[in-house]
Structure 1
């Protein structure tokens, strides 16, 4: 394949690229996209329609069940059934019974799904009143009564008559002395109408009885309620959905039938044609841009080689940046870089290498000289301080001489320590020298004490991690307080940890300032005055990672407490 491409002309390569990158991908992409979109939308519409039909089925079932509840309550009431089958002595006897019991027996049966219910009985001593009526021959000839006689079961019969749905329940649960009595419950047709016409099903919905007749629906063209289903005009490409009421005795055989035109399902796909067209345009434009960019890159690479050749003429041996290219331009670039590097290396070996070697020797000598200076300067400072101290002793200024001795000790200690870790004893000696100098400065205004367990003294800690916190306590805490300042340092060992606590009775700090300081120690924000504390905290974190504990508690005008807990070092640390 590579050999074939190498023998092709550039024009033929670009033409082949256009066919493979533009024409074929656009045709395949649009065909696959359109088919997949059509199938996905159709499946989604079918799922939505099935869900909407089942929701309508549940809503209709809730309305019917409300009527069934009323029916069963009358059917199961033995007192009510025995009362309406009783032979009343006179009309007054019945009126009294009606007013005392029958009138309010089922006053609470007013539910949303029930429009009205009526109890019928052929008891000759019962008068027609309120929801109780006589079961006459005229009533027996009505359509709803005729439909109810087709079923002799103990559960209600669901029928459609006189443009409304009703439940007919025979009240024969108790001995009625051959008196026929039943209850007719008319459902709330307004609620049923709202359920059908407000359904989310995008099509026509029919309620079909067990005999296959359409009894109700949201089809405005349906004028006869008992139209056989086969006479309903369905769309040519109709999608049908069925939701039968199975397992429900009083609704056995009733079915919700949904009819949807497949053209309406695919309507959204047709609306997306413009999007498909735009996508096709993008598929044309993008590969065209790619081809133009590739053509331009060929020209740019040739021009770049020419420019670098001219630079070599001016003794600028800059190579062309490496790129993965195996065509003629790529091979030419590789060979040009190889030639340039060879010429450049020959010149470097003969002339430049010797100059760099001499320059390196000179820099090494300068580094040694700076090292000697850095050793001489501290010793000169120590000798000068010692001369001032001896002069103070000769003049009888013993206190000044003592302070100069402490200063020299503080300068000498950090320099003489050859390791990053020192004993607690050495750290406390340095802190005591600092506090002596501060006591000389403040006089009777400063008092300090160091309370240390003897077991602590020989344990090793990073050098100068406690002194910055002591310095902060004396300068920022004690200096600004008008009262006598007291600094106390505690150190002890508990189990496998070294514990240090620093207390002062200085000015403390407000909560917001304390929070700002703690954030400064954890992050890289710059407060500008506590660089030493930040350095000490950072070195503790560097040495102990997450194994050390640090806490600071301060109140405005009430001093500051700092606690540091470090793990005991198992081995002697290496020299820093």
Structure 2
């Protein structure tokens, strides 16, 4: 993987990187950290505040229940009240007299607390008149929920429960205590009612930012500040309440005997803990925006100024390749870009002077040389287009076909193809496939001439079939191999042509024959004439190809010839692969 150096990054992008790492990212990170730290601090403070608020709820409700339990304890120890409920009355007048003496002013036992509203007494004594706060303990009473819930514990200590109406709705909170600890004749129970207003104030008049649930020992909700729960209509277990995943749940359990197993649970939605931070996020945003604007405008101005001046220099430098040596006009500045501009202007003036003195003279000389070579090349290309010759050959071929002389007709077709290509010269560039078809036509003619004396094979990669080469680049070497290599041979000879792809960007053409080869002196003569720019004398075909390849490819081609007397000759041409050219 290629590594990107910092010096390879454009100047404009460097300024952008400076802005990103020096302004943008520090401001973003600072504001994010500030927001996270503030959010966490506010969350912790909110949790502490809500813990205190929940503790206040727990204490307020406990204090009210303690007051009621205290009243129940006082009545439990009142011997006169016990005797009043346990005595068997002969007539209602005796009961009314005892009622006035022992129960009419029973509210004197309350400590003046607003948490208590009523005190009721329950008894099994059949002679007691059940009115004015006194109720019978009968089969119906024993079926009530409060009676069953407190049956085991009320004989030992006061216990909190909640009454229910006939249709099952939750009613008042009551503290129940059994008064039968003495030599008990009849069951007697005192019930202290808690004020509904007290209960509401205990749970609602607080700063707790969530829902509060009062849960009894069975896990059922007895009171809640949540408005979306049906806990009043029926028994609702707290575990059935759907609580959002990120909500905070606080739990305070009572340790008193009369509230054993009861607990106060607070549920705070996560959004309530970060409300203040969310409200202040706009302030943070505007502050960050202000921190962005000034540096961004300043850096944008500096980057634009540098980019404009550098772009002007680059624009003038690109004109140099089109021989437009224009100086950069404007005020001279003393910074690095100003110095670069001054040096460019000085270089431009110097190049103009050198061009006028040297370059144009050399260009003119090279143009003359190219025109001379082009004239020599054109001299080799016959401009005569003898259509009559092709027509005659076609007539002969058709007559051969009519006489079923298919071999003669095929050779005439190859000859016509070869003559048309070599004489007409319709285009300077052909594909390798087209050149191979011409070579095959030539070899078929030679094979026809020599009968079984010559055999040939052609191997070509499909990858190079569509590549372009100069017209008639390979065929002069095929002609030499056939005429000068195989034809003088006394026995049979073979020609093998291999065209392949080297390194994915170069084409290799190899022609090998097992003919008579060349003397060393002849070989040296040919190799020396390849460097001669004049295309005349012997070996004109090979020198023509060499000069044309040099004109088209410069030093990017290779021509290698090896030979050995009576062994054969091998020629290799290596050219750059060209997949597309503008055809003449």
Taking structure 2 as the reference length, the TM-score comes to 0.45
TM-score (norm 1): 0.45
